Amino acid sequence: MVRTGILARIGYDLAQAPGQVRVTTASGVAFVPLLPLARMETLEQERTNFPVLSLALPHSADIDGLLGLDFIRGQDLRVNYRTGLISLE
């Protein structure tokens, strides 16, 4: 999931998203755009044509997005709480 404003800022037209997905949030059920990102890189991992949901998050949510199991699956996720570092191997 990626914050709606970020996707718009990098040039994605959410009105042209090829599909929508029903999701349950803390405030209820919503239908949100599902679109493939041409390229995404995070935690030293790169994905192309990777499907993401676009969700308008409140300003109080201090995040830009959320990685799901579809990104992490098949890898070793390490969370070091002492250093605050996350890695995928």
pLDDT of residue 40: 93
What is the C-alpha separation between 58 and 29, in angstroms, rounded? 16
pLDDT of residue 46: 94
pLDDT of residue 88: 92
CATH number of 2-88: 2.40.70.10
Span 20-52, pLDDT tens digits: 999 998 888 999 999 999 999 999 999 999 999
Predicted confidence (pLDDT) at residue 71 exceeds the cutoff of 90: yes
Buried b (16+ CB within 10 A) or exposed e, 19-28: eeeeeeeeee
* Residues contacting 74, CB < 8 A, separation 6+: none
Average pLDDT for residues 56-66, to the nearest whole number? 87
* Residues contacting 53, CB < 8 A, separation 6+: 1, 2, 21, 23, 32, 33, 34
Mean pLDDT of the chain, nearest integer: 92
pLDDT of residue 27: 83
